A and B are shown apart, each in its own frame.
Chain A
Amino acid sequence: MTDLLALGGRTFSSRLIIGTGKFSSPEVMADALAASGTEMVTVALRRVDLDAPVNSITDFIDPSKYLILPNTSGAADAQEAIRLARLARAAGLPPWIKVEVIPDPRYLMPDPVETLKACEVLVREGFVVLPYIHADPVLAKRLEEIGTAAVMPLAAPIGSGRGLKMEAAIAIIIEQATVPVVVDAGLGVPSHAAAAMEMGADAVLVNTAIATAAHPARMAHAFKLAVEAGRAGRLAGRAPELPIASASSPLTGFLHSVE
């Protein structure tokens, strides 16, 4: 059975999206991408030097193997995100955009109001829009209604590696979604990614956990396996979770005892 991720009019056999920040070198990044089996790689436009292609990270990302998903990192409001998206398209990058509107440089929390505004404009301009958001079920529905290709709720503060802290809200988003849900930010270890996939996420995005691991390529491979395992587990239909096995010393057994 083929189990493809349908997103933005394309299909992907990998459900792991990789971010390209924080790597110790472009070569280490390229090895990690290869080991992860990913087919979609997000790149901050702020890091791409269109005037000095030799230094550019995009030189290390083979566009025949990976879809480059430009992101608007650095944008603090809707206008800046929109301009970055247009710059990316004008530079010949794919008309896909991961919208990140982050006014707070410390905790890197996305601005829901400005994100919605930016997405409205970019969807109208024909971009495939993937917004990075808080795990806010109402915002997720609002974005879906205006035509975003997916929603990307954060599992925990970005870079924190703390796992599915927003689990309850992400479960609601997944349950209600009509577009793919990509759990983005805060996944620290492969088991976090597996858990997100078991919950029913369509894909996950990982960056810091791979880029800052002692062995990035090995960690990328571990995430690949975890995402596949979590997805397979989801599709297999889990055994029912029971609150407790039969108690060894029943509290109400006396009702049936014959003495």
Chain B
Amino acid sequence: MSFAEKFSPEVTRNAVERAQRATEDDVRSAIASGAPDLVTAAALLSPAASTIIEELGWTAHRLTVERFGKTIALYAPLYLSNDCVCTCTYCGFSMGLDIKRRTLRIDEVMREARALTGHGFRNILLVSSEHPKYVNEGYLAQCVSEVKRATSYVALEVAAAETAEYGAYVDAGCDGIVLYQETYDPHVYAQHHLGGPKKKYAWRMGALERAARAGVRHLGAGALLGLADWRFEGLALLQHARYLQKHAWRSQLNVSFPRINPAASGFRPQHPVSDAALVQLVCALRIALPTAGIVLSTRETATLRDRLVKLGITHMSAGSSTEPGGYSEPGSAGEQFHLEDTRTPEQVARRLIELGYDPVFKDWENVAPHTVPAPIATRVAGI
């Protein structure tokens, strides 16, 4: 059974409702047990949990250090295109918005990639809006295989695809697929995804399963906070994550839950999420998912990012630009959303060292067959 068939928004909403009455002791037993079921997991997201947030914080910190040590993996997004056929209320690339549009040529992509590797990045996330004509399978596979020559880890955050397309990306060297559901509430989803292929809620929900079937080694699931109640989104994301860990057991899972930032669309979230709520989500998801990576983008402020490091974050972007061509030619195209942490990668890395964490730029080796030397004996024999 796919996650889209298994997931029940009603059951999830009811669990969130019931957890309004959870006590501090309920939360403590959820912490101790790792919250294996929906009821205990909802307790971690409850108002009662926010009253003992320090206990959640220390548990989350301990679990993170045990599993990941005192390290933070650094990555950078590389925007390929902002040409888009989808109408999404919150997005700066939404079709119909009057922004400068651009899809990078391969040589422009490589210029961006070199700008990033020059800062030390070896983990590059290729991001694109949805445009079947400009940003198709062939273009994306070519971007992956070319960028892979410059770095050791390449992931894609692009339109949801069929299993066969994911297979083509894997063959091109793609190490990860990042795809956020945005909101797990189907009604809210319909209110915000008004046109284009992204309208299909269930199709999107199955994308990471399809990617795993195609052999993608790293999966990134997530929710865009601000569209629906954050407790509901957190509990839904947790269920999705656990489903993927069981069914896509060969793939490493990361989760992320960015808050909506101002974009050209002028969108204002109906369910704004406070810093306290974000902290509670980080802690709750760490306790319930001790082996998943938690990714934090530069949408958050430098001050908050520094504090979240100790609570469960394992991956951070740094020095990001959200416009195509933004590293080598800033201002040449519209940005997807506005960034808060504008420090350079070097400044972020230095700050992590001050905080007692090792900034890790490289944590993956490229083992595509054509990149690896033949065994020594074979080469001597000249075969």
Listed in ascending order, the chain A residues whose CB lies under 8 Å from chain B are: 21-26, 45-49, 51-52, 55, 74-76, 79-80, 83-84, 86-87, 89-90, 103-107, 125-126, 159, 161, 208, 211-212
Contacting B66 at CB < 8 Å: which of A87, A126, A161? A161
Q: In the assembly, what is the distance between CA of A25 and CA of B362, in Å? A: 14
Q: Which 3 A-B pairs have the closest CB atoms?
A: A22-B69, A24-B70, A105-B252
Q: What would 24 A/B residue contacts be, using CB atoms closer than 8 Å?
A: A21-B71, A23-B69, A24-B357, A25-B358, A46-B362, A52-B361, A75-B367, A76-B217, A79-B369, A80-B367, A84-B365, A86-B372, A86-B374, A86-B375, A87-B367, A104-B250, A105-B251, A105-B252, A106-B245, A107-B291, A125-B377, A159-B66, A161-B66, A212-B66
CB of B120 within 8 A of CB of A46, answer: no
Contacting B358 at CB < 8 Å: which of A23, A74, A86? A23
Contacting B372 at CB < 8 Å: which of A22, A49, A87, A125? A87
Chain B contacts with A in 336-383, Cβ cutoff 8 A:
353, 356-358, 360-365, 367, 369, 372-377
* B286 close to A (CB within 8 Å): no
* B139 close to A (CB within 8 Å): no
Chain B contacts with A in 33-72, Cβ cutoff 8 A:
65-71
CB of B365 within 8 A of CB of A22, answer: no
Given A21-B69, A87-B365, A159-B67, answer yes or no on A125-B375 (Cβ-Cβ < 8 Å): yes
- A196 smallest CB distance to B (angstroms): 20
Contacting B122 at CB < 8 Å: which of A49, A86, A105? A49
The residues of A that contact B377 with a CB separation of less than 8 Å are: 125-126
The residues of B that contact A161 with a CB separation of less than 8 Å are: 66
Given A55-B120, A103-B250, A161-B66, answer yes or no on A46-B372 (Cβ-Cβ < 8 Å): no
- B156 smallest CB distance to A (angstroms): 19
Q: Select from chain A the residue with minimum beta-carbon distance to B353.
A: A25
CB of B358 within 8 A of CB of A26, answer: yes
Given A52-B120, A125-B377, answer yes or no on A22-B70 (Cβ-Cβ < 8 Å): yes
- A123 smallest CB distance to B (angstroms): 12
The residues of B that contact A103 with a CB separation of less than 8 Å are: 250
Contacting A86 at CB < 8 Å: which of B71, B251, B373? B373
Q: Secondary structure at chain A's binding surface: helix, strand, loop or mixed? A: loop
Q: Select from chain B the residue with minimum beta-carbon distance to A29.
A: B358
CB of B68 within 8 A of CB of A47, answer: no
Give the tally of cross-chain contacts (CB within 8 A): 92
* B203 close to A (CB within 8 Å): no
CB of B369 within 8 A of CB of A212, answer: no
Q: In the assembly, what is the distance between CA of A210 and CA of B306, in Å? A: 25
Q: Select from chain A the residue with minimum beta-carbon distance to B373.
A: A90
* B249 close to A (CB within 8 Å): yes
The residues of A that contact B358 with a CB separation of less than 8 Å are: 23-26
Contacting A89 at CB < 8 Å: which of B217, B360, B376? B376
The residues of A that contact B374 with a CB separation of less than 8 Å are: 86
The residues of A that contact B66 with a CB separation of less than 8 Å are: 159, 161, 208, 212
Q: In the assembly, what is the distance between CA of A212 and CA of B357, in Å? A: 11
Q: Select from chain A the residue with minimum beta-carbon distance to B364.
A: A46
Q: In the assembly, what is the distance between CA of A103 and CA of B356, in Å? A: 31
- A65 smallest CB distance to B (angstroms): 21
The residues of A that contact B367 with a CB separation of less than 8 Å are: 74-75, 80, 83-84, 87
CB of B376 within 8 A of CB of A47, answer: no
The residues of A that contact B68 with a CB separation of less than 8 Å are: 22
The residues of B that contact A208 with a CB separation of less than 8 Å are: 66, 69
- A99 smallest CB distance to B (angstroms): 14
Q: In the assembly, what is the distance between CA of A83 and CA of B374, in Å? A: 9
Contacting B363 at CB < 8 Å: which of A46, A87, A211? A46
